[in-house]
Amino acid sequence: MDLLWTEEDERFRAELRAWIDQALPKLPAATKREDWDARRERDTTWQRMLYDAGYAGINWPADFGGRGAALSEQLVFYEEITTAGAPDVGVNFVGLLHAGPTIIAEAADDQRARHLPAILKGEEVWCQGFSEPSAGSDLASLRTRAVRDGDDYVINGQKIWTSFAQVSDYCELLVRTDPEAPKHTGITWLILPMDTPGVDVRPLRTVIGSSEFSELYLDDVRVPVANRVGAENDGWRVAMVTFSFERGTSLVSEMAEARRQLDELVKVAKVVTRGSATAWDDVGLRREIGHAAAELDALWNMVKRTVSEAARTGVPGVGASVVKLYYTELIQRIGDLALRVLDRASLSLDDVFDHSGHFVEERLRVLALTIAAGSSQIQRNIIGERILGLPR
Amino acid sequence: MDFTLTSDQEALQEAVRKLCEGRFPMERVRALAEVGGVDRDLWREMADAGVFSLRLSEADGGAALGTAEAALVFEVLGRALVPGPLVWTHLAAGLVPGAAEGDRVVGGLQRQEEPFLVEYPDAIDVLLAVDDDGLWEVDRSRLSARPVSWPLDPLTPAHVAGGLLRGERRGVPGDAARWRLDGAVLTGAYLLGMAAALTEMSVAFAKERQQFDKPIGSFQAIKHILADMFVRTEVARAAVYAAAVNLDEPALGPPARAVAGAKLLAGEAATLNAKAATQVHGGMGFTWEVDVHLYLKRAWVLDTTFGTADDHADVVAGLLG
């Protein structure tokens, strides 16, 4: 067991830090809520800046525009990005964190060449078309139908919870290609261009009050068979690869950010007054924050263990469910602590002081984390059945 | 950075696991309650396997291994619930003559924790005390001690001691600080092993035990309890291993935060898993016959040594911001 970064990692860290220091001021200011086009513009501009500097797709193959570095450098990257307060993956989290990695692992060479460099350059934004109104936790019961017609599939159905669909170019889409087969064996993974006729995006309003996700109505949408990733009816297996990234590595940047947020919360607690004392003088509250910090530290070390293991196998395993389950419930408890620190300032999503509004918005946003990408209950089933070997 | 066990580390754990399987099956562990928690011959066998000496230099009869390796060993000991003042004797190796070789059993306590409950009073040859001013060897002939007739943990017999005099100095404040860190991590490692064992025995029980014509492990109400036990254990494992590595590697920075987090999370994993295991075992979980209560009681005992969960949460909080 060795937790020391290599000299190479440290050199990378120093270079990256210097680059971020000079690059960050050139980025346009944060955009207004609900201005999705501006949000896309800012996020993809940052992605292009990363690409031009050689910091896009840290562990993606160099042949497709990535840096071709070790996963450990990816961790260093997230640590530095969050420390500097630089943007996260933003509107293209699907492309960068799970559609892209799935394409690397499963797609044909021409598909890789077509999409991977474009994702890294900020030219292609992706969204996810997995869930349906009747297929949530029971995703394999999905009903969106794809019927072969010559060199195309003709698709009819409805998808839901599709984040940033309104500014996406492509969608990773799960469709049913064999309705007669058992439900897990009749599914196919497709690349859907969002400008295809028959694709209708209808934004949904979330508890935050904004509309980052949408419903997707698909009406006689023609997608070339050449857009299929993996074999026909083998899409469930490909989706499991997507999940291994979505549940595993895609939370890593979020976790790095959570550590910074907790430090911010402590700073706020030290200045918010409660009568004659500060929130930080409240022994009970402070103890719970210390507890949460210990848990976050442990999870970050678990990520290092997962990365060390993945460095050998290439794909994060079911152990990802462990991190996903624990982190998402922890970040909600941290959100509760933030509301307790803010006290009456928590009535406002506008900043009452410092970044108080951000903590309130985050408390709302993280409600989704124990539901999305397999609810906490589904993760417990996976851990119980696949890791512990309990009967179904 | 490679946060996985080396093959040597895996082999070390395997060797101690074999020792525990051979020498400390649960019926033998239970029988140790009748002899004050320590059997001298078994204690020497543990010493011969390097349990106490492994961090000493080869010139001093050790294996020159690190805290990481010691933690891996204590994890396995905790899994088997091996009783006795293992952590104190391990810490005393190289300081108290005969500790490393298993000839003298060394117990200890932290001087803050009044009333003073001395563990394994009939088994220990030497009693050490740790406080902010250093390490001390207590003169036991000058202690007024009242035996506890009914200890919480049958495998942790105790005396209530009064008039705890300082005794003879055995270390400076820096030594005491280091003992507290090492002691917290090794106790945490032991608790980690207990948490893992509790998960395994509960999973095995839930696969066997039938109700409503099905193994109870097929019910989500039970399955989810077991999943949480596993998750808690793995989070504690990351914390304990990282803290142990941090103690070995000064370049990783001050270890205080990592150590506090490790003891905190391992203690919680063991106590919460023991309570969950009691529930999963149903009525059997409330019997003396099933081993779960021995784990629960030891977890409670160890949660009071080398800092409580609350102490450690406060330490982490104090290092934030």
pLDDT category of residue A317 using cuts at 50, 70 and 90: low
The more confidently predicted of residues B182 and A354 is B182
Report the number of secondary-structure helices (H) and strands (E) in chain B.
Answer: 10, 9
In a domain, A177, yes or no: yes
B149 touching A (Cβ < 8 Å)? no
pLDDT at position A353 over 80: yes
Q: Please give the torsion angle defined by the CA atoms of residues B1, B4, B7 and B13, in that order, rounded to the nearest 10 degrees.
A: 130
Burial class (CB in 10 A: 0-12, 13-18, 19+), A76: buried
Of A27-31, A126-130, B104-108, B204-208, the range with the lowest mean pLDDT is A27-31
**Rounded to an integer, what distance in angstroms lies between the CA atom of residue B69 and that of residue B76?**
11
Residue A14, amino acid: A
B7 touching A (Cβ < 8 Å)? no
Residue A15, amino acid: E
State the residue for tokens 């006290």.
A343
The more confidently predicted of residues A243 and B258 is B258
Task: Determine phi and psi for A213, rounding to 5 degrees.
Answer: -120, 165
Neighbours of A25 (CB within 10 A): 6
In a domain, A302, yes or no: yes
Three-class SS state of A7: helix
Residue B100 is predicted with a pLDDT of 98
Give me the residues of B, 257-276, that contact A with CB < 8 A: 257-258, 260-262, 264-265
In a domain, A103, yes or no: no
Q: Do B242 and A294 touch (CB under 8 A)?
A: no
**Between A269, A286, A298, which is nearest B239 by CB?**
A298
Residue A368 belongs to what domain range? 250-387
Shortest CA distance from B4: residue in chain A: A1
Three-class SS state of B170: strand
Residue A139 is predicted with a pLDDT of 96
**Rounded to an integer, what distance in angstroms lies between the CA atom of residue B65 and that of residue B58?**
9
Residue B198 is predicted with a pLDDT of 98
Give Cα B118 to chain centroid, integer Å. Answer: 16
Q: Please give the torsion angle defined by the CA atoms of residues B179, B20, B2 and A300, in that order, rounded to the nearest 10 degrees.
A: -70
* Residues of B in Cβ contact (< 8 Å) with A325: 227, 231
Give me the residues of B, 50-109, that contact A with CB < 8 A: 68
* Residues of A in Cβ contact (< 8 Å) with B1: 2-6, 9, 72, 304, 308
Distance from CA of A286 to the nearest CA of B (A): 6
Residue A120, amino acid: L
State whether A288 and A371 are in the same domain: yes
Three-class SS state of B127: strand
Q: Do A1 and B5 touch (CB under 8 A)?
A: yes
Instruction: Name residues whose C-beta falls within 8 Å of residue B307's C-beta, 6 or more positions apart in sequence.
Output: B180, B184, B260, B263, B315
* Residues of B in Cβ contact (< 8 Å) with A301: 3, 238-239, 241-242
Neighbours of B80 (CB within 10 A): 21
Of A79-88, A108-117, B19-28, B182-191, the range with the lowest mean pLDDT is A79-88
Give me the residues of B, 191-250, that contact A with CB < 8 A: 199, 203, 206-207, 214-215, 217-218, 220, 223-224, 226-228, 230-231, 234-236, 238-239, 241-242, 244-246, 249
For the residues of A144-196, what is the DSSP string, one character each? -EEEEETTEEEEEEEEEEEETGGG-SEEEEEEES-TTS-GGGSEEEEEEETTS
What is the side-by-side order of every strand in the sheet holding B168-171? Answer: B106-110, B126-131, B134-138, B168-171
**Rounded to an integer, what distance in angstroms lies between the CA atom of residue A302 and that of residue B238?**
5
Identify the CA nearest to A261 among candidates A345, A332, A326, A349: A332
B310 touching A (Cβ < 8 Å)? yes
3-state SS track over A194-248 = CCCCCEEEEEECCCCCCCCEEEEEEEEEEEEHHHEECCCCCHHHHHHHHHHHHHH
Assigned token pair, A62: 């160099």
CATH number of the domain to which A375 belongs = 1.20.140.10
**Which residue of the set A106, A246, A254, A362 is catalytic?**
A246
Residue A33 is predicted with a pLDDT of 80
Neighbours of A220 (CB within 10 A): 11
Looking only at the bridges linking them, the beta strands covering B126-131 and B134-138 are antiparallel
Tell me whether residue A106 is one of the annotated catalytic residues. Answer: no
State whether A177 and A272 are in the same domain: no
Element (H, E) at A113: helix A109-120
**Rounded to an integer, what distance in angstroms lies between the CA atom of residue A352 and that of residue A366?**
21
Give tens-digit pLDDT for A274-289. Answer: 888 999 999 999 999 9
**Rounded to an integer, what distance in angstroms lies between the CA atom of residue A325 and that of residue A248?**
10
Q: Do B251 and A4 touch (CB under 8 A)?
A: yes
CATH number of the domain to which A163 belongs = 2.40.110.10
The more confidently predicted of residues A303 and B229 is B229
pLDDT at position A88 over 90: no
In a domain, A141, yes or no: yes
Of A31-45, A102-116, B282-296, the range with the lowest mean pLDDT is A31-45
Residue A309 is predicted with a pLDDT of 83
**Between A4, A269, A302, which is nearest B252 by CB?**
A4
| Domains by residue range for chain B, with CATH | 174-318 (1.20.140.10)
Residue A318 is predicted with a pLDDT of 59
Q: Do A391 and B207 touch (CB under 8 A)?
A: yes
In a domain, A1, yes or no: no
Residue A315 is predicted with a pLDDT of 61
State whether A364 and A268 are in the same domain: yes
Neighbours of B288 (CB within 10 A): 9
Instruction: Name residues whose C-beta falls within 8 Å of residue A347's C-beta, 6 or more positions apart in sequence.
Output: none
pLDDT category of residue A224 using cuts at 50, 70 and 90: very high
State whether A197 and A262 are in the same domain: no
Q: Do B316 and A326 touch (CB under 8 A)?
A: no
Of A64, A88, A112, the residue at which a domain comes to its end is A88
Instruction: Name residues whose C-beta falls within 8 Å of residue B262's C-beta, 6 or more positions apart in sequence.
Output: A298, B184, B185, B188, B236, B239, B240, B242, B243, B244
**Between A298, A307, A383, which is nearest B261 by CB?**
A298
Beta bridge partners of A193: A170
Radius of gyration of chain A (CA): 21
Q: Do B235 and A380 touch (CB under 8 A)?
A: no
* Residues of B in Cβ contact (< 8 Å) with A280: 321
As a whole number, the mean pLDDT across chain B is 96
Q: Please give the torsion angle defined by the CA atoms of residues B189, B195, B197 and B201, in that order, rounded to the nearest 10 degrees.
A: 180
Q: What is the ipTM of this complex?
A: 0.96
State whether A271 and A381 are in the same domain: yes
State whether A293 and A227 are in the same domain: no
Of A206, A232, A258, the residue at which a domain comes to its end is A232
pLDDT category of residue B111 using cuts at 50, 70 and 90: confident
**Between A269, A301, A322, which is nearest B3 by CB?**
A301
Three-class SS state of A289: helix
**Between A263, A308, A385, which is nearest B3 by CB?**
A308
In a domain, A114, yes or no: no
CATH number of the domain to which A60 belongs = 1.10.540.10
State whether A257 and A383 are in the same domain: yes
Instruction: Name residues whose C-beta falls within 8 Å of residue B304's C-beta, 6 or more positions apart in sequence.
Output: B113
Task: Determine phi and psi for A195, rounding to 5 degrees.
Answer: -90, 10
Shortest CA distance from A311: residue in chain B: B2
Count CA within 13 A, CB hemisphere, residue A221.
Answer: 27
State whether A270 and A354 are in the same domain: yes
Assigned token pair, A365: 């946003």
Q: Do B257 and A297 touch (CB under 8 A)?
A: yes
pLDDT category of residue A32 using cuts at 50, 70 and 90: confident
pLDDT category of residue B261 using cuts at 50, 70 and 90: very high
**Between A1, A299, A391, which is nearest B68 by CB?**
A1
State whether A280 and A228 are in the same domain: no
Residue A316 is predicted with a pLDDT of 62
The more confidently predicted of residues B169 and A28 is B169
State whether A141 and A63 are in the same domain: no
**Rounded to an integer, what distance in angstroms lies between the CA atom of residue B43 and that of residue B123?**
11
Shortest CA distance from A75: residue in chain B: B1
In a domain, A137, yes or no: yes
Q: Do B220 and A381 touch (CB under 8 A)?
A: yes
Of A34, A64, A88, the residue at which a domain comes to its end is A88
A311: left (phi over 0), alpha (psi -120 to 50) or beta: alpha
Give tens-digit pLDDT for A154-174. Answer: 999 999 999 999 999 999 999
Give me the residues of A, 59-78, that contact B with CB < 8 A: 72
In a domain, A134, yes or no: yes
Report the number of distinct structural domains present in chain A. Answer: 3
Cα–Cα distances in Å, from A162 out to A133, A213, A367, B315? 12, 5, 16, 43
State whether A185 and A216 are in the same domain: yes
Task: Determine phi and psi for A329, rounding to 5 degrees.
Answer: -75, -35
State whether A254 and A382 are in the same domain: yes
